[in-house]
Amino acid sequence: MEATAISKIGQRAGSTARVRGWLYNKRSSGKIQFLIVRDGTGYVQCVVPRADVSPETWEAAEKATQESSLAVTGAVREDRRAPGGFEMSATAVEILGPSPEYPISPKEHGVDFLMNLRHLWMRSSQQHAVLRVRSEMEQAIADFFYEREFVRIDSPILTGSSVEGTSTLFETDYFGDKAYLSQSGQLYLEPAAAAFGKVYCFGPTFRAEKSKTRRHLTEFWMVEPEVAFLEFEGLCELAEDFVVFLVRRALERCGEDLKRLERDGTKLEKVQKPFPRITYREGIRHLQQKGFPVNFGDDLGADEETALCAESERPLIVSRFPTAIKSFYMQPDPQDPEVVLGLDMLAPEGYGEIIGGSQRIHDLALLEKRLEEHKLPREAYEWYLDVRRYGTFPHAGFGMGLERLVAWVCGIHHLREAIPYPRTLKRIYP
């Protein structure tokens, strides 16, 4: 008999089905055993009454330990007592692969232990739910840009020049030359915007920051749109539309997973346009009134960000930062030349910055000047300057960290659970 996906088991109610998967948990009571089987699409309870099955089937059910792979055949029926609403009365249980002494028990474990067993931990229901939400968000990202006729441009992972300083770059040998793992696809997207108009890239990025917090990974996935002739106001709207689209998608298609994660959906339902916006100057004033010792020119730390977001249930857009604390390529505000047309989007509930973006400098002379001020090696950027030499145009873009979005949407504490195999300061295994 052909196997049925457990997610589709309800369609077989009243008839016989065969499922293949792994034993998630088992409870027994003398003459009856309950096997919870998972196959990646869902969970189903299989009931094995001793009186109704062959001795071989009874023995197989008894021998099956946590995470043994199994094939179970039986009659499907609705039953309120079963988790999921349907259960199978097993007529045959076959152990496909035994699983002696599975290390992750249904009880509590520490972070280090679970992270060393990440390859097994992803079988656990909550981890499984997070990674399914991540997959849905990846699909939603592709859909959002496809619907808006963006062209996906894959930027290189191995690069010769950096967007920001070289201190946070992973260096590697490239046939005797130095190469670096990409920190951002932006420099490669700007030329592509001149070729295609609306473009985006989506892939892994690498930061050798020695940061050790729940908001940082050394390898994370970033999605970056870049749009020709888009100016700052339009950029803010694009970022807003994007986040609203992604959160709505999670609510529409990840209900089961969010429920398993005990995520409060009402908080996500409040993520609607328009998002509150403040400028950096206004933010500094608010913070000073609340007693924070901050002045124009200071970077906003974690506590400051949390204080600014405290009043809002929607993401907050902070814009127009001092030129000195931002990257070399950001366009100055014509109304206020001390600040640049950059934005940070801060997620509510303390999840912090999920998006950073800006309008880019399109004037060649100004960009050359900024490269010099930031002491960046001019030669490495010659090709990038060509974007301004041959038909320059105003343009803007942003980057969104996928793991930060997923952590926020799922309501999980640490970014390391929002990626299948996290890379952190102290972890490159498994």
- Within positions 348 to 387, which residues make up the interface with RNA, using CB under 7 A? 352-356
Choosing from 94, 138, 209, 313, the residue that interacts with RNA (CB under 7 A) is 209
Question: Measuring CA to CA, which residue among 387, 377, 300 is closest to residue 344?
Answer: 300
Question: Measuring CA to CA, which residue among 9, 5, 1 is closest to residue 79?
Answer: 9
79 makes contact with RNA (CB under 7 A) = yes
111 makes contact with RNA (CB under 7 A) = yes
Choosing from 60, 153, 222, 361, the residue that interacts with RNA (CB under 7 A) is 222
Contact characters 260-299, RNA, x per CB under 7 A: ---------------------------------------x
Question: Measuring CA to CA, which residue among 46, 27, 131, 124 is closest to residue 84?
Answer: 46
For RNA, how many residues bind (rule: CB under 7 A)? 73
Choosing from 301, 377, 420, 430, the residue that interacts with RNA (CB under 7 A) is 301
Contact characters 135-174, RNA, x per CB under 7 A: ---------------------------------x------
Residues contacting 350, CB < 8 A, separation 6+: 306, 309
Question: Measuring CA to CA, which residue among 418, 409, 398 is closest to residue 240?
Answer: 398
Three state DSSP letters for 1-38: CCECCHHHHHHHCCCEEEEEEEEEEEEECCCEEEEEEE
126 makes contact with RNA (CB under 7 A) = no
Of 259-267, 272-280, 347-355, 371-379: span binding RNA (CB under 7 A): 347-355
Q: Which of residues 13-72 bind RNA (CB under 7 A)?
A: 25, 27-32, 34, 45, 47, 49-51, 65-66
176 makes contact with RNA (CB under 7 A) = no
112 makes contact with RNA (CB under 7 A) = yes
State in angstroms the smallest separation of the CB of 295 from RNA. Answer: 13
What is d(CA 227, CA 8) in angstroms, rounded to the nearest whole number? 42
Q: Which of residues 384-403 bind RNA (CB under 7 A)?
A: 399-401, 403
Instruction: Kindly provide the b/e burial profile for residues 301-322, where b requires at least 16 CB atoms within 10 angstroms of the residue's own CB.
Output: eeebbebbbeeeebbbbbbbbb
- Angstrom CA distances, 101 to 104, 127, 238, 244, 315, stand at 9, 21, 51, 45, 45
Residue bearing tokens 């300061």: 425
What would the two tokens of residue 306 be? 């949390």
Residue whose CB is less far from RNA, 175 or 429: 429
Residue whose CB is less far from RNA, 222 or 228: 222
